[in-house]
């Protein structure tokens, strides 16, 4: 399954640099290990989603847990895919 999601600029850059290897999201899409996340950079200052080539990352969900999360939320371990 593919999920296109907005990703705040601050977190987007951390994921791109390999410093942030997880996403915490409301599980309103029934996320599963093996799903593909298409992360689009979102600028909260302007309220706009950026659509340039460098404003998108593709990540694979490699792990999921709801341990110690608010009801309905999950933590997903992600790996950025270089072969977008």
* Cα Rg of the chain (Å, integer): 12
- 63 with 28: CB under 8 angstroms? no
- Answer whether 0.85 is exceeded by the pTM: yes
- Give residue 54's pLDDT: 78
30-76 pLDDT tens trace: 999 999 999 999 999 999 998 876 789 999 999 999 999 999 999 99
Sorted by where each starts, the structural domains of the chain and their CATH numbers stand as: 2-80 (2.30.130.30)
d(CA 33, CA 42) in angstroms, rounded, equals 24
Instruction: Judge whether residue 79 has pLDDT over 80.
Output: yes
Tokens of 45: 């200052």
Residue 27 tokens, joined: 């599980």
């Amino acid at each position: 399954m593919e999920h296109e999601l907005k990703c705040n600029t601050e977190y987007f850059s951390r994921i791109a640099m390999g410093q942030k290897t997880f996403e915490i999201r409301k599980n309103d899409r029934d996320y599963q290990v093996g799903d593909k996340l298409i992360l689009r950079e979102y600028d909260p200052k302007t309220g706009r989603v950026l659509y340039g080539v460098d404003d998108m990352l593709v990540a694979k969900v490699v792990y999921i847990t709801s341990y110690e999360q608010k009801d309905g939320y999950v933590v997903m371990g992600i790996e950025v895919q270089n072969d977008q």
